[in-house]
Amino acid sequence: MIHMKDIDLKNKRVFIRLDLNVPLYNNKITSSARIDCSIPTIQLALKKHAKIIIASHLGRPEEGKYNEKFSLFPIFKYLKKKLPEVNIIFSKNYLQGIKIESNQIVVLENVRFNYGETKNDIDLSKKYANLCDIFVMDAFATAHRIESSTYGICDFVKQACIGPLLFSEIKILKNIFNKPIHPVVTVIGGAKVSTKFKLLNSLLKITDSMLVGGGIANTFISTNYSIGKSLYEKSFQEKAKKLYETKKIFLPIDSRVCTSFSIKSKSKIKLISNILPNEEILDIGDQTIKNYKEVIKKAKTIIWNGPMGVFEFPNFRKGTEEIAKSIANSSSFSIAGGGDTIAVIDLFNLKNKISYISTGGGSFLKFIENKTLPILERLKKF
């Protein structure tokens, strides 16, 4: 793939697709991490004297309709503060064309306000392409989506390339999965096996030990024990058995349970062989925590995706917290990705203790599954 740094951008209209999908509360940014990660890309374009167009989505608004709640205007204001010496303007109506000068930045309103964005509409893709001379894809978190501003635009621009942030993410992930340093320990949580079955298969090829929690663990446990009214997937029990035959998977031996799914429910630790019909597993137990920590201690590489239980409920948070802190305090190279995983990292203030945090959720998982992403294959054709 052609890299942005290797292209002459001087006086060229450069459409940069970034991931500026940050959390907002009352129109105020509560975490600027994704914007801050993108600023070096903008600065590189400025250094090359480009006419810069910045595009991103924000949230999931109803397509084709403006909704102030999902406006990129707060992000525009943040960029003006971070780059005070640059002429930055905001554009709501841009599909018919925009005026832009060198070393100027135009921040486009949320691309998901445009009808056809998520469906990769051809007409919309053409309109994006008409705005620019060069397309730069630098949004890892949306690199798994085939949408007009992330993929379709490539069919109608003369030149497209990969941005530095996306390049960095892919390089790090490829190094981990092509040349992992063993022992490799993967920590996998979340609700369903069905959504992560391909992921588990891919990870087991390089993994020495896989520590499983959450609803995913319940499906494995349910093949041998009664788990009361716990969340599990009956249709995936046979597939879970086959995965377990690899002898790499570690499962909980005890769990924190309750009789009603509520933030107020008290937790009780039970062996998985003693779960009653009216009980529900919401977290791993203390002996499981101890066992998992022993495995993590021996790791040289840790890949982490998903919580060990319902960490949103304080009484069922201990498993996720203890395992997260164990990963953070490990001397191994640790990589974390996925929305819930990042939420856990923020909750326990572990950001500076994880070796690498992927900016993407779905893209992180899809890349692990397939070792590539649709847009990467498309960019190779330029």
Q: Which residues are catalytic?
A: 34, 192, 339, 362
CA 215, CA 232: separation in Å to the nearest integer?
Answer: 6
Residues paired with residue 268 on neighbouring β-strands, in sequence order: 257
Residue 265 DSSP class: P
Q: What is the DSSP string of 42-109?
A: HHHHHHTT-EEEEE---S-PPTTS--GGG-SHHHHHHHHHHSTTSEEEEES--TT-----TTEEEEEP
> Side-chain half-sphere of 31: how many Cα atoms within 13 Å?
14
CB atoms within 10 A of CB 108: 25
Written as six digits, the tokens of 48 are: 């090359």
CA 85, CA 249: separation in Å to the nearest integer?
Answer: 54
Pairing status of strand 87-91 against strand 104-108: parallel
Cα 188 from chain centroid? 14
CB atoms within 10 A of CB 155: 14
